[in-house]
Amino acid sequence: MNILIADDEPFMLKILQAYLEKESFTIYQARDGEEALHLFYTNKINLAIVDWMMPKRNGIQVCKEIKSQSKTTKVLLLTAKGEADDELIALQSGADEYISKPFDPRVLIVRVRKLLQMERLIIIGDLQIDMDGQRIYRNHQDVQATNTEFHLMKYLIENRGIIISRKALLDHVWGFDYVGEERTVDTHIRRLRAKIGDHIITTHRGMGYSLDESHE
């Protein structure tokens, strides 16, 4: 999962990055609103943690633009402002969550997890993926996906729009200590496609596989 953190305070960026990387998130840092938007447009961002008061483009402006361009990216707004209407303004800008500074980073992590797990039933065309039950349904019928097939689908969903190499799929689904041929991935993808349909997962010759957002 990719998280963008945007704050003009270097110490805050350092603290947030340390806590989030400990949770195995991939982090992109920005020190102003324009840099934050550049990173958003050039990377697949699952969650943006954005400070309200930033140079060039403030957090409210960044939030509004992200939300206008993406239906899936979550936005958590940070602020040191203390006025009673601030939370209302933040939520009206489209923010999914709002936290006042100073805050306990452990509380932030809980909020982040909650935001990234809000969609527990993923709908893709005629598929329904139950993330908690670890089942895949097609036209409401359980396709009887194996554990490996489900986790292949889950990892592709978590990285929608990104081409995932066979090596990356092996590392994240089979484990970093797996010893075997990369073509094992092809075999399992073929079996998964037989159950969910050929059009859901795209093959990129010589590169890997992707689940494109156009299929949602």
pLDDT band at 216 (very low <50, low <70, confident <90, very high): very low
Please indicate whether residue 106 or residue 11 has the higher confidence score (pLDDT). 11
Is the pLDDT score of 80 beyond 80?
Answer: no
Residue spans of the domains in the chain: they are 2-116, 121-215
pLDDT at 183: 85
The per-residue pLDDT for 114 is: 81
Average confidence (pLDDT) over 142-167: 91
Q: What pLDDT does residue 82 have?
A: 61
- When the pLDDT of each residue in the chain is averaged and rounded to a whole number, the result is 86
Residue showing tokens 């945007």: 6
Domain 2-116 has CATH 3.40.50.2300: yes
Calpha distance 98→197 (Å, rounded): 40
pTM for this one?
0.56
User: Per residue in 124-133, pLDDT tens?
Assistant: 888 888 887 8
CATH code, 121-215? 1.10.10.10
DSSP 7-74: -S-HHHHHHHHHHHHHTT-EEEEESSHHHHHHHHHHS--SEEEEESS-SSS-HHHHHHHHHHH-SS-E
